[in-house]
C-alpha cells in the first residue's frame, strides 16, 4: 500500500484511509483462508455520489479500479479522476446511452440482453474497439433487479460471443441482501459451468460478486472482484434523478 498523498485539508480523508486498510485486511484474510495461493481478488471502489477528490484520495491508497453506476454522473466527474484509474460501468445501462461511455470505460459489467450487447457491438465498431463486458445474472430472480435469469446465462453468453466487437470476460451478480451461502455457491456454479464450455471468443476471467455487506462471503464462493462503496466511502447521500 502506498503512503498516500500529502495531508491537506482539501484532500485527506482519514475515514477513507482507515476503511481502506480494514477492507484490504479482510479481503486478504478471506483470500488466504478460502482460495488458492495463486488466486487474486480485486477491490472496486463504487463511486456513486462520491466527490472526485474523495475518490482520488482512495485511488492514491491503491483503490484504482472504479465502478460507475450512472452515465450522467460519470460524464460529469470523469475529467477530474486520477488518470491511472481503471473505470468499469456497473449500473443498469440503457441502449440509448451506450454511445456516451463506449470509449470511456474499460469494461461494462451490466450486460443482460442481446439487445444491449448488440448496441455495444455497434457503437464499439464505430471506434474500432472490442468492448469487454460481463454478463449480469439475476441470481435471486428478483423482479426489481436487472440481469438474465440463471437458466438463460449460457444461451446469452453464446449469443454475445458471435458479436465481433464484444468480448465476454465473465459474469456479474448482486445476490439478494441477506442471502445464505447457497446463493453465492449457485452463482459460482453457473460461472464454472460457463467456463467449462470453452466458448470461442469468451474468456471467463472475472466473477464480480460481493459488496460492502457480503464481500467476504462472496470471496469464499469464488468472487475475484468485489464492489465496495459504503464500506469505503461511508453512507451515500443519494442524488435525485
**What CATH code is carried by the domain that includes residue 70?**
3.20.20.10
Alpha-carbon gap, residue 208 to 171, rounded angstroms:
6
* 45 within 8 A of 63, measured Cβ to Cβ: yes
pLDDT in tens, the chain (241 residues): 334 444 444 579 999 999 999 999 999 999 999 999 999 999 999 999 999 999 999 999 999 999 999 999 999 999 999 999 999 999 999 999 999 999 999 999 999 999 999 999 999 999 999 999 999 999 999 988 999 999 999 999 999 999 999 999 999 999 999 899 999 999 999 999 999 999 999 999 999 999 999 999 999 999 999 999 999 999 876 543 3
* Residue 22 placed within a domain: yes
* 205 within 8 A of 169, measured Cβ to Cβ: yes
Q: Is 223 exposed, middle or buried (0-12, 13-18, 19+ CB in 10 A)?
A: buried
* Residue 239 placed within a domain: no
pLDDT of residue 235: 87
**Residues ≥6 apart with Cβ < 8 Å to 81:** 52, 55, 56, 59, 66, 87
* Residue 104 placed within a domain: yes
pTM comes to 0.92
* Residue 135 placed within a domain: yes
Grid cell digits, residue 117: 450487447
pLDDT of residue 157: 98
Alpha-carbon gap, residue 225 to 37, rounded angstroms:
16
Number of domains in the chain: 1
pLDDT of residue 236: 74
* Residue 88 placed within a domain: yes
Alpha-carbon gap, residue 59 to 61, rounded angstroms:
5
pLDDT of residue 38: 94
* Residue 168 placed within a domain: yes
Alpha-carbon gap, residue 215 to 88, rounded angstroms:
18
pLDDT of residue 4: 42
pLDDT of residue 72: 97
Q: What residues make up the domain containing 211?
A: 14-233
* Residue 145 placed within a domain: yes
Nearest to 234 by CA among 14, 10, 16: 16
* Residue 26 placed within a domain: yes
Amino acid at each position: 500500500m502506498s503512503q498516500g498523498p500529502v495531508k491537506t485539508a482539501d484532500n485527506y480523508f482519514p475515514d477513507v484511509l482507515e476503511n481502506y486498510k480494514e477492507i484490504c485486511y479482510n479481503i486478504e484474510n478471506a483470500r488466504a483462508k478460502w482460495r488458492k495461493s495463486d488466486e487474486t481478488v480485486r477491490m472496486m471502489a463504487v463511486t456513486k455520489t462520491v466527490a472526485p477528490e474523495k475518490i482520488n484520495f482512495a485511488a492514491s491508497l491503491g483503490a484504482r479500479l472504479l465502478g460507475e453506476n450512472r452515465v450522467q454522473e460519470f460524464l460529469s466527474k470523469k475529467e477530474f479522476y486520477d488518470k491511472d484509474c481503471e473505470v468499469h460501468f456497473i449500473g443498469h445501462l440503457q441502449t440509448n446511452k451506450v454511445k456516451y461511455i463506449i470509449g470511456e470505460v474499460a469494461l461494462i459489467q451490466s450486460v443482460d440482453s442481446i439487445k444491449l450487447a448488440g448496441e455495444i457491438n455497434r457503437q464499439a465498431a464505430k471506434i474500432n474497439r472490442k468492448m469487454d463486458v460481463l454478463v449480469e445474472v439475476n441470481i435471486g430472480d428478483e423482479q426489481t433487479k436487472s440481469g438474465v435469469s440463471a437458466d438463460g446465462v449460457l444461451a446469452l453468453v453464446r449469443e454475445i460471443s458471435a458479436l465481433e466487437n464484444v468480448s465476454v470476460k465473465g459474469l456479474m451478480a448482486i445476490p439478494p441482501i441477506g442471502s445464505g451461502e447457497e446463493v453465492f455457491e449457485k452463482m459460482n456454479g453457473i460461472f464454472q459451468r460457463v467456463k467449462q464450455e470453452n466458448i470461442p471468443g469468451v474468456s471467463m476471467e472475472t466473477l464480480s460478486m460481493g459488496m460492502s455487506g457480503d464481500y467476504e462471503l462472496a470471496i469464499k464462493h469464488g468472487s475475484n472482484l468485489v464492489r465496495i462503496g459504503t464500506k469505503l466511502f461511508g453512507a451515500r447521500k443519494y442524488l435525485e434523478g
